[in-house]
Structure formats: C-alpha cells, structure tokens
Amino acid sequence: MRAIIERYEQLYQCTLHDSLVLDKRYQFPKSLMVLWMVVVLLWGVFLFHDYFVGVVWFILSLVLALCALTWSVVRIYRLKHTSLLIAREGVALLEGLRFRAIPYQDLQHVRLTDDQTLILESKTKTIRLVLDSFPPALYGLLKVLKARGFLDHEAYEHDIFFHDDEVVVEPVIESKDEAYLKLREAFKGYRYLHEGDLEDLKLQALKIEKFKLIQKQHAAFYLTHLEVLGSHPLNYRFKTQNTDEAVVVFEHFKLLEILSETPLKTTLKTFRELIVNAQLKQCIISLKETDKTAQWVFTKDRQSYTVRFSFDEVFTAFNAFASDPWYEGI
C-alpha cells in the first residue's frame, strides 16, 4: 500500500497528506482457464493414442504447459499486486512493477464505457479501470471527475476528503451574506445538499407532505422522496435512483398565479391549503437571465391545479440515496 504512495511522491516531488489506496479484487483469468483445459486435453490424447501421435501431442502440450505456467505466474502476480491510488492531486495505478500516474490537471479525456470501464487519458498516459474489479469506494473517483468537469458535467469549486475508506467531495460555497448562510443553516441536518437548477431531478408523481415559508420569503416543499437522474452531480451510480424524504427550497418565492376549473384567488393562504398532501404531476422550470419561474401541475381531492411562481435560486436536501448501503428505507 505504501509503495504506490511513495512512487507517486517520488515522481512528482510532492507529499500526499491524505489519500485512499484500493487493492484490486482477485479473479482467476478466464483465458488462463481455457489454456489449461487445452493442455489437459492434449495430455489425454497422449495417453489414449498410439506412441508416435502421443509423443507429438505430448511435446506440444508440454510447450503449452510451460507457456501457461509462465503466463499464470505473471498474471496472478500482477492481479495480486495491483493497487489504485486516489489522492487530492491525482490518480495512480500500480500493476506489478508497472506504474502509471495522472494528476487531475493533466487529464484531457475521461470516458465511462457501457461495460463500466473508466478510461483516463492524459497527453502521454492512459489508465483503464474496470469498476467492478475494485471495492465500491472507487465510485468516489467518479465524484471527483464530475467535480472537475468530466463525464458531461460542469466543473465546480470543491474540496476532497477521505473518510472511512470513502472519497468525499464537497462543493466550496462562496462567501455569502448573513441571510444566505442563515437559510442553509436551517437545513444543515441533511446529509446531501445540492444547489443549482432542477434539470437533474424528475419532479413527477411525488407527494408534497408539507409546505413552509421561511423568513417570510423562501418556500420549502417537503416531499416523500426525490427521483435523482444519473446525470446529477451527487449521483455517482450513473443511473436514476430515489432518495428518502427530501426538501426543495425556492429562494425569494413569489406566487404569481393559481389556475383550476373553478376560479380561485391567487393568495398564499389558498396555495398553502391546496399544496399540502397534493400529488405533484409536472414541473416546468423557465430560466432567464432576469427572471426564473416555475409551473407546477398537481392534484388534490381529484381536482387538478396549475400554479406559477417566480424565484431567485433553488436547492435540494436529503439524507440518503437508495444505493447507500447503510440505508434500507426505500
């Protein structure tokens, strides 16, 4: 474990104060199994056929056996001595005596193939990682790559931490005013908090359990769950999954219109009575430079309603993904 860290430090003349080393899971190569089966088959021919044919097959099988033995020793050694280093500065792979390292700043191309192989490329080096060949903590590297703008995501300021053999990526929140900090302080108990638009969420078929107006200007909608798409920055599984109970907060919420089959007054009191325990059917967000609006379609007591409101910013918070190993509530 220490060897790969020392190789990285020597190569880049630096000290890694915090990092994570993952050992590759050992699996006997299928190609070697096929080769040994061929060797055994040839030995069978030697035993049950005439001497001349048997000697020829014996020599051939002996050569193949020596090749298989040599290849087996080399492959097994490499498999048992393959380690992956994930650090704040970059990533490195040690396979036997072969060492390759790529600092994040040198990455040029990053791809995730259909067979779940992660390919990292710099100008001179390539690292290929089969996700299933390493412990689940490897998925933390995907978080890092997303934060740096790869895998079809926008880059954002972030910090990288290592806790309980996991990679933790946290956005760096710019210095904000007291009101901004006070609002987020109200949701500090949630494990996940993401700021930004809602394009990576599917806000449909959700029950709104509670509505709360914070500081008389910020609307908090408490939902039974969220459906998070694979493109979401926090969703490192790359597939749609649900969360536990969640909250969506629209800052500087302003109610614009309530529409229904029967005329209704567009008042906050009316909206509060309708939205609690309603089923959200559709969410349309319009983002313009000077104006952000949302249109929600929801049902309650078999009646359909459409509401429009404006806002400045939006963020979501929740405690667990369905894939979190410690969570079994979904």
- What pLDDT does 296 receive? 92
Amino acid 13: pLDDT: 81
| pLDDT per position as a tens digit, 261-301 | 888 888 999 999 999 999 999 888 887 766 889 999 999 98
What is the per-residue DSSP string for 92-104?
EEEETTEEEEEEG
Asked whether the beta carbons of 202 and 248 are under 8 A apart, the reply is no
**What's the one-letter identity of residue 225?**
H
Q: What are the helix (H) ranges across the chain?
A: 2-12, 30-48, 51-80, 139-147, 178-185, 268-275
For residue 131, the SS3 value is helix
3-class secondary structure, 17: coil
pLDDT for 330 equals 44
Predicted pLDDT at 72: 62
Q: pLDDT 10s digit of each residue in the chain, 330 long? A: 678 888 898 888 877 878 899 988 766 556 666 666 666 665 565 555 555 455 666 666 667 666 666 666 656 555 566 889 999 899 999 987 889 999 999 999 999 999 899 999 999 999 999 898 888 889 899 999 999 999 988 888 888 888 778 888 888 766 567 777 788 888 888 888 888 767 778 888 889 999 999 888 899 999 998 888 877 777 777 778 888 889 999 999 999 999 998 888 889 999 999 999 999 998 888 877 668 899 999 999 889 999 999 998 888 888 887 776 655 554
Give the bridge partners for 304, in sequence order. 299
Reported pTM = 0.52
Instruction: Pick the closest to residue 133 from 3, 28, 239, 1 (CA basis).
Output: 28
